[in-house]
Amino acid sequence: MGEPPKNAASANRRFDTVLIANRGEIALRIQRACRELGLKAVTICSEADRQAPFGKTADSVLCIGPANAAKSYLNKDAIILAAELTGAGAIHPGYGFLSESAAFSEAVEKAGLVFIGPDASSISTMGDKISAKRAMIAAGVPCVPGPQTALPDEPASIERTAQEIGYPVIIKAAGGGGGRGMRVVSEAGALHEAIALTREEARQAFDSPALYMEKFLQHPRHIEIQVLCDVHGNAIWLGHRDCSMQRRHQKVVEEAPAPGIAPDLIGPVGLACVKACRQIGYRGVGTFEFLYEDREFYFIEMNTRLQVEHPVTEMTSGIDIVHAQINAAQGIPLELRQDDIRCSGHSFECRINAEAPESFLPSAGTITELALPEAPGVRVDTHIHAGYRVSPYYDSLIAKLIVHAPTRAEAMARMREALAGTRVEGISTNLPFLRALFEDEAFARGETDIHYLEKWLKQRR
Ligand code: ADP
């Protein structure tokens, strides 16, 4: 740490065609950004997505494999070959799929193409939660109390660590993701069994069997910081988001800024994130995720990619994050300085999912009728249309409803109106549940933590 940024002397990284290695709403979002920047956008698709709109609006499309994502959207070699065949100079991975694969970032750059995202070493440092925590502590980013090392094997030493932290503790897999590979332990008697189970899970599901232990926070909010970095050592943060409205660790509603957090409380945390980016030579956009409890921030992980919820920050900061990400990948120096960032108003995003209202199981099928809201301060990012067939193979996100207004209360009212003006027929969606949530008083007061939504759902049953 403390070395100069690794990418400072990057060679010419200019390109005129981008291959988008993704699907759905984000594929269209990235296409739009490419065209606005005067770049061509080519895309891949799976056999299940042959008729999908994102293929029709791209400059060209190559079907690279069957519906099974392992053989299409996750097929590194086929994607790189598709870029070469279509004359693309860069690959944008979107979110999900290969967006956080260090091996893919490396393979793309080895093939002489630009990976629109950070380099392999930043992705691996941040992909392992223990090394990420270590890098954050070195940069002065506040972390959850607990050692920055993997748990040893000796039972006595593990027990000592838990006692020092104080129960409840959480056991986490260093390579965990998607809310899996963690277990809460509330008393010493349950410690060793929890470790054995989590270790077995980590061994089977993740690259690394390493585990670590930290304090379990009981009523935190999920707050995150969006960063933007070029390859010349410039890094800024674009404000913060609150994503506490989660079900099974999946975000459902996001907002910017996080309500009730004073600028002088979050300001130093934002600057520490920026410092961490400079120290690891981070390139492009990324998100630092924190738990926030009793006026303290605790880093939990960094997402080294564009996030689903990036639009709420675009609405409040006025910055097009995908433009900025593509420009950074081209080696263009960041013109914005931290003082130029002026966030204004309030933004919400609702994730509209194709799922059954009670069971939350994905709901595939054909959309027979569709109405989407159109009004000032309302943005819809979606790939669906009337007649669109929602595929059972992929993520259930079908649209993102985003609003912006001068105050949080006005933004909530605008979202209520936008939700009322949205109609999706032919499949089940979570629209009824989103509408009810925007009538909830505790949510309106901004007093909800990461457990609120699950409790709220239980009460409604
Ligand atoms: P993943 O990579 O699987 O998303 P995270 O480390 O981001 O894992 O944690 C996912 C979620 O688990 C958090 O949003 C939070 O709800 C919960 N969590 C993780 N660490 C803690 C902790 N130390 N205390 C309380 N809850 C935690």
Tell me which of 221, 305, 379, 408 is the catalytic residue.
305
Q: 177: number of CA atoms within 13 Å, CB side?
A: 15
List the one residue out of 25, 55, 52, 51 whose CA is nearest residue 41. Answer: 55
Q: Is 348 exposed, middle or buried (0-12, 13-18, 19+ CB in 10 A)?
A: buried
> Number of helices (H) and strands (E), helices first, in the chain?
15, 20
> What is the per-residue pLDDT for 309?
98
> What is the per-residue pLDDT for 5?
44
Q: How far is the CA of 197 from the centre of ligand 1 (A)?
A: 17
- Closest CA to ligand 1's atom 6: 300
Of 12-16, 42-46, 337-341, where does mean pLDDT reach its minimum? 12-16
> What is the per-residue pLDDT for 7?
45
- Closest CA to ligand 1's atom 9: 179
List the one residue out of 258, 252, 283, 255 whose CA is nearest residue 270. Answer: 258
Q: Is the pLDDT of residue 434 over 80?
A: yes
Mean pLDDT of the region 307-319:
98
Q: How far is the CA of 177 from the centre of ligand 1 (A)?
A: 9
List the one residue out of 123, 199, 120 whose CA is nearest residue 158. Answer: 199
Q: How confident is the model at residue 4 (pLDDT cuts 50, 70, 90)?
A: very low
Task: Please state, in angstroms and rounded to a whole number, the distance separating the CA atoms of residues 36 and 323.
Answer: 8
Q: Is the separation of the CB atoms in 372 and 420 below 8 Å?
A: no
Q: Is the separation of the CB atoms in 142 and 184 below 8 Å?
A: no
Maximum average pLDDT range among 177-186, 207-216, 311-320: 311-320
Is there a catalytic annotation at residue 305? yes
Mean pLDDT of the region 127-134:
95
Q: 296: number of CA atoms within 13 Å, CB side?
A: 10
> What is the per-residue pLDDT for 10?
52
Residue corresponding to tokens 């309106």? 444
What beta strand segments (E) does 383-428 contain?
389-390, 397-405, 423-425
Q: Could you write out the DSSP letters of every residue in 69-116? A: GGGTTT-HHHHHHHHHHHT-SEEE--SSTTTT-HHHHHHHHHTT-EES
Report how far Cα 401 is from the mean position of its chain's Cα atoms.
16
Q: How confident is the model at residue 461 (pLDDT cuts 50, 70, 90)?
A: confident
Q: At what angle do helices 129-138 and 120-127 cross, to 10 degrees?
A: 100
Query: DSSP assignment, residue 64?
Result: E
SS3 label, residue 283: coil
Residue 289 CA: nearest ligand 1 atom is 7
Mean pLDDT of the region 166-182:
92
Mean pLDDT of the region 162-170:
97
Q: Is the pLDDT of residue 104 over 50?
A: yes
Task: Please state, in angstroms and rounded to a whole number, the distance separating the CA atoms of residues 224 and 240.
Answer: 5
Q: Is the pLDDT of residue 6 over 50?
A: no
pTM metric for this prediction: 0.95
Q: How far is the CA of 305 from the centre of ligand 1 (A)?
A: 18
Residue corresponding to tokens 């070029």? 230
Angle at 305 between CA 28 and CA 373, to 5 degrees: 35
Task: Please state, in angstroms and rounded to a whole number, the distance separating the CA atoms of residues 190 and 177.
Answer: 23
Q: Could you write out the DSSP letters of every residue in 394-434? A: S--EEEEEEEEESSHHHHHHHHHHHHHT-EEESS--SHHHH
Q: What is the pLDDT of residues 237-296, one digit of tens each?
A: 999 999 999 998 899 999 999 999 999 999 999 999 999 999 999 999 999 999 999 999
List the one residue out of 40, 67, 70, 37 whose CA is nearest residue 52. Answer: 67
Q: How far is the CA of 325 from the centre of ligand 1 (A)?
A: 26
Q: Is the pLDDT of residue 184 over 80?
A: yes
Q: Is the pLDDT of residue 219 over 60?
A: yes
Q: Is the separation of the CB atoms in 235 and 283 below 8 Å?
A: no
Largest Cα span, the chain: 62
List the one residue out of 74, 213, 209 whose CA is nearest residue 157. Answer: 213
Residue 220 CA: nearest ligand 1 atom is 25
Q: Is the separation of the CB atoms in 56 and 32 below 8 Å?
A: no
Q: How far is the CA of 82 from the centre of ligand 1 (A)?
A: 36
Pocket of ligand 1 (CB under 6 A): 144, 170, 176-179, 214-217, 220, 222, 249, 289, 291, 300-301, 450
Q: What is the pLDDT of residues 55-91, one digit of tens each?
A: 999 999 999 999 999 999 999 999 999 999 999 999 9
Q: What is the pLDDT of residues 333-392, one digit of tens each?
A: 999 999 999 999 999 999 999 999 788 899 999 999 999 999 999 999 999 999 999 999
Token reading at 387: 């007649």
Q: Is 232 exposed, middle or buried (0-12, 13-18, 19+ CB in 10 A)?
A: middle
Token reading at 299: 């880093």
Residue corresponding to tokens 């980013």? 141
- Closest CA to ligand 1's atom 14: 249
Q: What are phi and psi of 327, to 5 degrees?
A: -60, -45
Mean pLDDT of the region 130-143:
94
Q: How far is the CA of 136 from the centre of ligand 1 (A)?
A: 16
Count of all residues that appear for the chain in the document? 461
For the chain, what is the mean pLDDT?
A: 95
Residue 450 CA: nearest ligand 1 atom is 16
Task: Please state, in angstroms and rounded to a whole number, the distance separating the CA atoms of residues 93 and 80.
Answer: 11
Residue 298 CA: nearest ligand 1 atom is 23
Q: Is the pLDDT of residue 9 over 60?
A: no
Q: Which of 249, 294, 303 to probe ligand 1 with, by most ligand atoms within 8 A of CB?
A: 249
ipTM above 0.90, yes or no: yes
